[in-house]
Amino acid sequence: MDVNNMDASNVFVRLFLETKYEDLPENVVSEVKKQILDYIGVAVAGAAKPGSGQVRELYEGFGGSEQATVWGSGKKLPVPFAAQCNATAGHCLDFDDMHEDAVMHPGVVSIPTSFALADYIGGMTGKELITAVALAGDMICRMGTSLHPGRNVIPYGWHYTTLNGSMVSALLAARLLGLDFDKAVAAMGLGYHQTAGNGQTVKDGGLAKRLGPGLSVRNGITAALLAQKGVTAAKRIMEGEWGFYKVYHGDDYDREKLLDGLGKKWESERVSIKPYPCCRGIHHFIDCALKLREDYKIDPDEIEKIDIECGEGALGLLCTPLEVKANPADIVVSQFSVPWGVSCGLALGRATLREYTDSEEGIRNRAILKVSNKITSVEHTKEMDIGDFERAKVTVTMKDGNVYSVMLTHPKGTPEDPLSFEDVVQKYLGCLDSADRPIPAENGKKILSLVRDIENLADIREIEKLIVWA
């Protein structure tokens, strides 16, 4: 494919329409299978949580054509709304997958889009699902890694998954609907016309953070359905005079990173699966805390003070103001708080879904708060700035004068330290157990069995019909 004279958006359209399951490397297939199982688990756990519950209640109240299944309730809604509900469920716990370099949650766009279209179209195979998730994951992550080369992208203020999600979901839906090249371009152009997504709700707290990717998925599917009916849109979507990179990013992007090795090198195999239900930038801080507690047998009551060192991006987003992050007023603040994650690890030796609830076990937990208020400093140091994913360092000073410190670069679950399929199975089962409204245990086992062998599944609806509350 000659990409030199094509708008990058058109290059992706070609890739999406021409790629077959047989083109995927074996490792991409195995990683995507883990991502699918992981997403089902976190979506079941999140389906009745604040934010997700209100979106579902709103759309089920609207009603409409019964086209696609809402996970949990089992009710059917128009396909864009069902997909929005399922995407919101998967993102609201901040436990969904993550691509560190791209600062992107690829699965929350690709997987609910694919499942909703599978229900709407019927007869989608497991191989097609894997191919769809691989393609969309690769594209959305390339869009992230290409931005602002050499600089941390967080301070620019976008929520990148939401920002990129409408275009990626639109193109994925176009593939699944079988649209031709021109209509697929129109679908992506209509997705671009709806592009939005800011990070201010992370700063201020609030449930809107949980809703962003679902809004993008709704927009993307709607865009593809409009294109199917003949609605046209921009054609030079990414690199036109008023295209995405010019309007949203001042043309500050690396085209080579966006397109290099397309169809051969897959960013979707470099997606991390989270072991902890919070922002990915917190995870290696939690790993530091857990290692400190284990290696030095730390008694939280004997801690005198705690000092945290972080990179420039983490400081503003995840660490300050310290008094707010150490005493989170709501769940969203705790999910974006390094001090809270560190304190969970030091106080309890864990950071699970229980610690990220509005309860006595969660943000009102006195044991955690006692430790979090021993954090005396959170500082940005140059040593922590090593590229897109920054280092983490936690130092604990004990009452007896001993000082212990741990610094880490790659958190558990990254491509450098990946979770195995069986690790993901344990996370999946834990998510099912933690759900406010569980699905039947037998359904959970059947889903696991189907996903293990999903490349041989004839119809994805076999999985969807099992994702219903007991």
Residue 302: exposure state from Cβ atoms within 10 A (0-12, 13-18, ≥19): exposed
Residue-wise pLDDT for 353-399, tens only, equals 999 999 999 999 999 999 999 999 999 999 999 865 689 999 999 99
Please check whether residue 335 lies inside any domain of the structure. yes
Give residue 197's pLDDT: 94
Angle CA(274)–CA(277)–CA(278) in degrees, nearest 5?
95
118 and 169 in a single domain? The answer is yes
68 and 161 in a single domain? The answer is yes
Please check whether residue 2 lies inside any domain of the structure. no
Domain CATH number, residue 285:
3.30.1330.120
245 and 332 in a single domain? The answer is no
Please check whether residue 298 lies inside any domain of the structure. yes
Q: Structural domain of residue 65, as residue ranges? A: 8-275+420-464
178 and 298 in a single domain? The answer is no
222 and 286 in a single domain? The answer is no
41 and 133 in a single domain? The answer is yes
62 and 175 in a single domain? The answer is yes
Residue 1: band (very low, low, confident or very high) from pLDDT cuts 50, 70, 90: low
Please check whether residue 292 lies inside any domain of the structure. yes
Please check whether residue 469 lies inside any domain of the structure. no
Domain CATH number, residue 126:
1.10.4100.10
pLDDT, greater one: 446 or 279 = 446
247 and 297 in a single domain? The answer is no
460 and 391 in a single domain? The answer is no
Please check whether residue 156 lies inside any domain of the structure. yes
- Structure-block tokens of residue 41: 């688990």
Q: Which residues contact 228 (CB under 8 A, 6 or more apart)?
A: 177, 179, 183, 187
226: which DSSP letter?
H
Question: What percent of the chain has a predicted confidence (pLDDT) above 70?
Answer: 99
Give residue 99's pLDDT: 94
395 and 435 in a single domain? The answer is no
165 and 229 in a single domain? The answer is yes
43 and 190 in a single domain? The answer is yes
Please check whether residue 470 lies inside any domain of the structure. no
The total of structural domains in the chain comes to: 2
Give residue 388's pLDDT: 59
pTM of full prediction above 0.85: yes
Please check whether residue 413 lies inside any domain of the structure. no
- Structure-block tokens of residue 420: 């195995």
What is the C-alpha to C-alpha distance for residues 142 and 224, in angstroms, rounded to an integer? Answer: 21
Sign of the CA dihedral 324, 321, 213, 286?
A: negative
